[in-house]
A and B are shown apart, each in its own frame.
Chain A
Amino acid sequence: MVTIFILVFLAALMLNLWLMLSMDYHRNFERYHDRLHAQHVTLVVDDDSEEMHDFLTRELGKNQQTNEFDLGDALNMPGSFLYNGGEMNHDFVISEKEEALSRSIGRVEITEEGEGKSGVYLPLLYQSEDIRIGKTIDITIAGNKIPYKVCGFFNSIMVGSHNCAMTEIILTDDKYQELAKLEYAQNATMCCVRIHDKMESQNYEAWLKDALSGRYPDARILSNTYLLVRQSRYVAASICSGIISMMAFLVLLIALVVISSNIMNYIAENMKNLGSLKAIGYISRQLVNSLMLQFLGFSLLAAVVGTGGSYMMFPYVNAMLASQTGIPYQTRFLPLPLLLTFAVLCGAVAVVVCLSSRRMKRVEPMVALRQGIQTHNFKRNHIPLAKSRVPLNAALALKTTFSGMKQNIIIGITMLVLSLVVVFSGVLIENMLVDSEPMVNLIVGETSDSCINVNLGKEEEFCEEMDKDARVENYYIYHYENVIHEGGLELLAMMCDDFSKTSNQDVVFEGRAPKFDNEIVIAAKYAKEQGLDIGDEMSIIAGGNEEKYMISGFTQISNQLGKDCLLTREGYERIGELQNVSYYLNFRDNVDIDKFNEEVKEMFGNEVNATINARATVKSGVSVYISIMTIIVTGILIMSVIVIAFVLYLLVRTMLNRKKQEYGILKAFGFTTRQLVLQTALSFMPAVVLSTVVGIAGNCAIINPLIALFLSGVGVVKCSFAIPVGLITVSGAGLVLLAFAIACLLSVRIKKIVPKELLSGD
């Protein structure tokens, strides 16, 4: 009973947690969005002239969708600062404090504020060990390090984190003026628009950018939309709630198996009582109902305690996730998830009780009274001792194994599930914790050591230098530009001179990478939404020109959450004109990336727009995911130990009850407790070993599609993670050993069986 209580408790806890996360956590975004009267489309353009303001006012006024808008001044430049041991590289939109607080649309709110009157306010998200009120951080803007004192943190719903396409930073008035004078950053106009139908935000954004770039083709534009931000800020929460739901259903499944086996046991042991109750006139339904009431009441109690527990747990989960969402969340009482949890649990328990007590109906009073369960078993002698060469203990264990097919099946299923867990953790560890590149490649598509952006005029010179430099292993164009799909949305086009040079060859998972200037590869998610297939043609617009391209393949990179496409450089140049171009560089071992970047900067001066230490950037971006994954992997492993222990406990208990007499007889004939414990534990092993081997082999085959399914929310369609065979084999062996050890431990109760109980009482 304690077992059931704990299991139902855990199931209720996780179920409620999952429902709370999936039903309310996202809604938190809407609440803040409404409260801060935030924009649906943000646009930052590097031009703060009157002319630009007029143009925007005129254009926005023309569109029926526009509800209200706000134009403000800001500074705009890519920059970086140290965060979580890595470098946080992003497009910074720097605004003045009073301006940011008093915007009519999309104002920020200060969540925490120190004494300082002169310094910087950062998004809530970046609050960490090193970034705290009173400390000083160095913010690099256009290659210039500027120290700022951290005065506080703020919450901005649309531009408050690195997954919003731009990050807002707020400076106090004095610091703002200072920076503006230094002219490191461009003066920009920040345009926040609220529209009537927020679901249309992406189309609206595409329209606005198209209009703007048609009039000002050279302007640097940053933008984001309500839908994009809402989705990107909750990626981790979605993954987390997915995992919790998986675990919740796993635990629930185990609880149901335990309940069902309890009932079966109860019926088997009380066959005579049940028979006599029936004999005096009870009907099956009454007997089932009494069981039902007992288990339902019990599960309900456990569920109440469990949901209570989930409210205690929620703040911790929230703290973990807040580092990714960057939006504060107040735990509140949510009646709907609570009711759903109760309904699911009670319903499942009721169904299981009904199903497993069906057998009660088949209890014939006379048969039950006479001898309990009828056994017409003509067994096959699987291991005749006279012939087999197996050692005695193993032979007896095998006999037990063959006689308990039901138990073998239960073990088999458990171990199959657990081996999935092992494989999953193994893959996560290998591809995320040990080496995060595969995971990053999956999401971002391509990583390199350094990324350098040069103006077109100096491109040839740059290439010559790179060819000469012994430190550079290879380099290739890897440049992003925004393009618009005619009749669709704005896409982020990634272009490369030759896709065969890239280090991640799995970017295009179906079809092939573009080879000719009339070919394009688009994100599978977008293709599905738009009903496009390989071989179809689509029109792409950039800089006012339009050309047709043929889709030659699908990709799953999601720099823009699935609104991505790949073009060859020539392909882009058919419609757009490049001002500058970004190169990805990979170095030989032991090259100091920062130093190399410095050298390039010195060599080319202003012709180089940006040098980014891509390694460091990725490291900081991924660190949050890694910490979440570490927790998840640990949780999963602990879960699997608990599960295996529970299942074995159950089986050993049943077996000891069933075979008590047999153990007594064997003891009488001189078997020692140690031998019998060994036999019991060994009898589980064939099923354990077989299902673990099959499970691991099978799961290794399906783990990649499974993870892809898991991550389909972020646009992943196909995964090709390396499977760490060694690690998984070792953990599989560990799992088997663990099962053996637990079975041994649990069956030590055999010691209590004494043979003298066999002798007829005096």
Chain B
Amino acid sequence: MKKVLLQTDKLSKSFSSGGNLQHVLKNIDLQLYAGDFTVIMGASGAGKSTLLYALSGMDTPTLGTITFGEKNISDLNSDRLAMFRREHCGFVFQQIYLIDGMSVMDNVLAAGLLVNKDKKSLVRRAEELFQAVGISGETQKKFPTQISGGEAQRVGIVRALINEPQILFADEPTGALNSKTGADVLDTLTAFNEQGQSVVMVTHDMRSARRGNRILYLKDGAILGECDLGKYVHDDRARHEKLSKFLNEMGW
């Protein structure tokens, strides 16, 4: 039995737009397990990203509870949530969102110094991570506008992992990249997952989805189905077909 990292209970999220109440997430009961590479799929507007930021403490749910470990994070205020996020969650965004005014290294350290006050060990960890994702020392000194998209996203991953988060949340991490650099980024994520890092990734790209061992399909704000793919193996046709079949069933 895997350890449950995060659990939701009848999680719902509503937005009001122009006087209309829109329910984007509906009674979601979900468990995320340690060590999993969970992929959330679904059509546009299914509520994938909403689910991601509710799970990651970027936003508070309208109804229901989210329990992260032992802690109920659904009714924390925004500052409390921020403090929670800095210790437990890492984020990778589609638009990457490195801060232009800071060097690559500083982007990572700005996040890291929030939690780890020991600068030396922090810099050491940052350098290890940079090495793991193949970012050279020279690149670390550059500014985000000076590096390529693929590099930037790998820096994004380093930044997300600097505080050793329990879960790494990735929102379409390859959305803004071409297929080659996208694959590099996915390889990086897979590699970290194989070392035990739990990952939750939102995507609507089959190739990205293949990396997960657990696929959740979201439709109209509810989990329509899920599929256990097992451990990722490169170029495994059976795995690929299983995923295709599952997605077909779901009406992909």
- Are any A and B Cβ atoms less than 8 Å apart in their complex? yes
Binding site for B on A (CB under 8 A): 375, 377-379, 381, 384-386, 392, 396, 399-400, 403, 661-662, 664-674, 751, 754-756, 758-762
Question: Can you add 9 more A-B contacts, CB < 8 Å, to A386-B109, A758-B93?
Answer: A379-B143, A384-B106, A385-B102, A396-B110, A399-B106, A669-B86, A754-B59, A759-B93, A762-B46
B72 interfacial by beta-carbon distance below 8 Å: no
Find out whether the CB atom of B95 lies under 8 angstroms from the CB atom of A760. yes
Residues facing A in B128-152 (CB within 8 A) are 141, 143, 145-146
Contact status of A669 and B59, CB under 8 A, knowing A661-B97, A662-B101: no
Contact status A400-B143, CB under 8 Å: no
Give B131 Cβ to nearest chain A Cβ, in Å: 15
A214 to chain B, nearest CB (A): 85
- B103-117: CB near A (< 8 Å → 1, else 0) gives 101100111011100
**B99 / chain A contacts, CB cutoff of 8 Å:** 662, 665-666
Docked Cα-Cα span, A662 to B99, in Å, equals: 6
Q: Are A759 and B105 in contact (CB under 8 A)?
A: no
Taken residue by residue from 63 to 82, chain B's Cβ proximity to chain A (1 for < 8 Å, 0 otherwise) reads as 00000000000000011001
**Across-interface contacts of B103 in A (CB, < 8 A):** 381, 384
Would you give the shortest CB distance from A645 to chain B, in whole angstroms?
26
Pairwise interchain contact A755-B58, C-beta atoms closer than 8 A: yes
User: Which residues on A sit within 8 Å (CB–CB) of B143?
Assistant: 377-379, 381
Please tell me if B91 contacts chain A, counting CB pairs below 8 Å. yes
Interface centre among B100, B101, B145 (most CB of A within 10 A): B101
Q: Write 30 A-B pairs (CB below 8 A) sorted by A numbering.
A: A377-B143, A377-B145, A378-B143, A381-B141, A384-B103, A385-B110, A385-B113, A386-B105, A386-B109, A392-B113, A399-B101, A665-B99, A666-B99, A668-B93, A669-B91, A670-B84, A670-B87, A670-B115, A671-B86, A671-B114, A672-B82, A673-B78, A754-B59, A754-B78, A755-B53, A756-B58, A758-B93, A760-B94, A760-B172, A762-B50
Interfacial chain B residues near A673, Cβ < 8 Å: 78-79, 82
A670 with B82: in contact, given A760-B95, A762-B45 (CB under 8 Å)? Answer: yes
A375 to B143, CA, bound (A): 13
Report whether A385 and B114 are in contact in the complex, using a CB–CB cutoff of 8 Å: no
Which residues of chain B come closer than 8 Å to A379, judged between CB atoms?
A: 101, 143
Q: What CA separation (Å) do A452 and B101 show in the bound complex?
A: 76
Q: Across the two chains, which residue of chain A brings its CB closest to B115?
A: A670
Given the complex, which residues of A lie within 8 Å of B145, measured CB to CB? 375, 377
Q: How large is the interface on B (under 10, 10 to 19, 20 to 34, 35 or more residues)?
A: 35 or more
Chain B residues 165-222 with CB under 8 Å of chain A are: 171-172, 175
Determine the distance from Cα of A396 to Cα of B46 in the docked complex, in whole angstroms: 38
Min CB distance, A662 to chain B, in Å?
5
What 5 pairs across the A-B complex have the smallest Cβ distances?
Answer: A670-B86, A385-B109, A672-B79, A669-B111, A760-B94
Residue of B nearest to A375 (CB): B145
Residues of B near A661 (CB, < 8 A) are: 97
CB distance from B164 to the nearest CB of A (A): 13
Query: Is the Cβ of B159 less than 8 Å from the Cβ of A669?
Result: yes
Q: Which residues of A contact B58 (CB under 8 A)?
A: 668, 754-756, 759
Q: What's the least CB distance linking B40 to chain A, in Å?
A: 11
| Residues in A neighbouring B175, C-beta threshold 8 A | 760
CB < 8 Å neighbour of B53 from A666, A669, A751, A756: A756
State the Cβ distance, B90 to closest chain A Cβ, in Å.
9
Q: How far is the CA of A370 from the CA of B105 in the complex (A)?
A: 29
Complexed CA–CA distance, A381 and B50 (Å): 36
Q: Which of A384, A399, A664, A671 is in CB contact (< 8 Å) with B105?
A: A384
Min CB distance B3 to A, Å, is 24
**With A and B bound together, what is the CA distance between A378 and B175 in angstroms?**
27
Cβ-based interface call for B154 (8 A): no
Nearest residue (CB) in A for B141 is A381
User: Does any Cβ of A come within 8 Å of B48's Cβ?
Assistant: yes
Interface membership of B49, Cβ < 8 A: yes
Given contacts A377-B145, A670-B85, A759-B93, contact A400 B53 (CB under 8 A): no
B114 touches A761 (CB 8 A): no
Number of A-B contacts (CB under 8 A): 114
B30: CB under 8 A from chain A? no
Question: In the complex the two chains form, what is the Cα distance from A384 to B48 in whole Å?
Answer: 37
Closest to B140 in A: A386
A759 touches B171 (CB 8 A): yes
Closest to B59 in A: A756
Could you tell me the distance in whole angstroms from the C-beta of A343 to the nearest C-beta in chain B?
Answer: 44
- Give which listed residue, B45, B52, B109, contacts A759 with CB less than 8 A: B52
- The answer to whether A758 and B59 have CB atoms under 8 Å apart is no
Q: Which of B45, B84, B93, B106 contacts A385 (CB 8 A)?
A: B106
Q: Nearest Cβ in chain B — how far from A370, in angstroms?
A: 15
The winner among A664, A669, A756 for most chain B CB atoms within 10 A is: A669
Closest-CB distance, A744 to chain B (whole angstroms): 16
B44 within 8 A of A: yes
Check if B85 sits within 8 Å of A381, measured CB to CB. no
- Complex Cα gap A668–B58 (Å): 7
In the bound complex, what is the Cα–Cα distance between A674 and B78 (angstroms)?
A: 11
Residues of A within 8 A of B106 (CB): 381, 384-386, 399
List A contacts of B97 (CB < 8 A).
661, 664-665, 668, 758
A761 and B78 within 8 A (CB): no
Q: Chain A residue with minimal CB distance to B111?
A: A669
Residues in A whose Cβ lies below 8 Å from that of B44: 762
Whole-angstrom CA separation of A375 from B86 in the bound complex? 31
Chain B residues numbered 3-25 whose CB sits less than 8 Å from any CB in chain A: 24
Smallest Cβ distance from B223 to chain A, in angstroms? 15
Please name all residues of chain B whose beta carbon is closer than 8 Å to the beta carbon of A761 when the two chains form the complex.
49
B83 interface hit (Cβ, 8 Å): yes
Q: With the chains together, A755 CA to B114 CA distance in Å? A: 17
Roughly how many angstroms separate A758 CA and B171 CA in the complex, as a whole number? 10
Is B119 in contact with chain A by the CB < 8 A criterion? Answer: yes
- Complex Cα distance, B101 from A381, in Å, reads 9
Nearest CB of A to B168, in Å: 13
- Contact among A670, A674, A756 for B111, CB-based, below 8 A: A670
Chain B nearest CB, measured from A188 CB (Å):
83
Q: What's the minimum C-beta distance from B118 to chain A, rounded to whole angstroms?
A: 13
Cross-interface CB contact of B82 among A396, A665, A671, A756, cutoff 8 Å: A671
Residue of A378, A386, A758, A759 near B119 (CB, 8 A) is A386
- Cα distance A566–B123 when bound, in Å? 78
The complex places the Cα of A762 from the Cα of B97 at a distance, in Å, of 18
Interface membership of B61, Cβ < 8 A:
no
Q: CA separation between A756 and B98, bound complex, in Å?
A: 15
B50, B82, B113, B172 pick with most chain A CB within 10 angstroms: B82
A674 proximity list for chain B (CB < 8 A): 79
User: Is A386 within 8 A of B123, CB to CB?
Assistant: yes
**In the complex, what distance in Å separates the CA atom of A762 from the CA atom of B54?**
14
B35 within 8 A of A: no
Which residues of chain A are within 8 angstroms of B111 by Cβ–Cβ distance? 669-670
A759 touches B53 (CB 8 A): yes
Bound Cα distance from A756 to B169, whole angstroms: 13
Max chain A Cβ within 10 angstroms of own Cβ: one of B47, B100, B115, B171: B100
Q: Tell me, in angstroms, the Cα distance from A384 to B141 when the chains sit together.
A: 9
A198 to B: closest C-beta gap in Å = 69
Closest chain A residue to B56, Cβ basis: A668
A630 to B46, CA, bound (A): 68
Bound CA span A759–B89, Å: 15
- How far apart are B119's CB and chain A's nearest CB, in angstroms? 7
Query: From residue A496, how far is it (CB to closest CB) to chain B in Å?
Result: 68
Chain A residues positioned under 8 Å from B53 (CB to CB): 755-756, 759
Chain B CB within 10 Å, residue with most, of A386, A673, A755, A759? A759
Contact A668 B113 (CB under 8 A): no
Question: Considering only CB atoms, which chain A residue lies closest to B47 in the complex?
Answer: A762
Give complex CA distance A725, B100 in Å.
44
Residues of A near B109 (CB, < 8 A) are 385-386
Q: How far is the CA of A751 from the CA of B81 in the complex (A)?
A: 13
Bound-complex Cα distance A276 to B45 (A): 30
Q: How far is the CB of A312 from chain B (nearest CB, A)?
A: 44
Chain B residues lying within 8 Å of A392, measured Cβ to Cβ, are 110, 113-114
| Nearest CB on B from A443, distance (A) | 56
Enumerate chain A residues within 8 angstroms of B78, measured Cβ to Cβ. Answer: 672-673, 751, 754
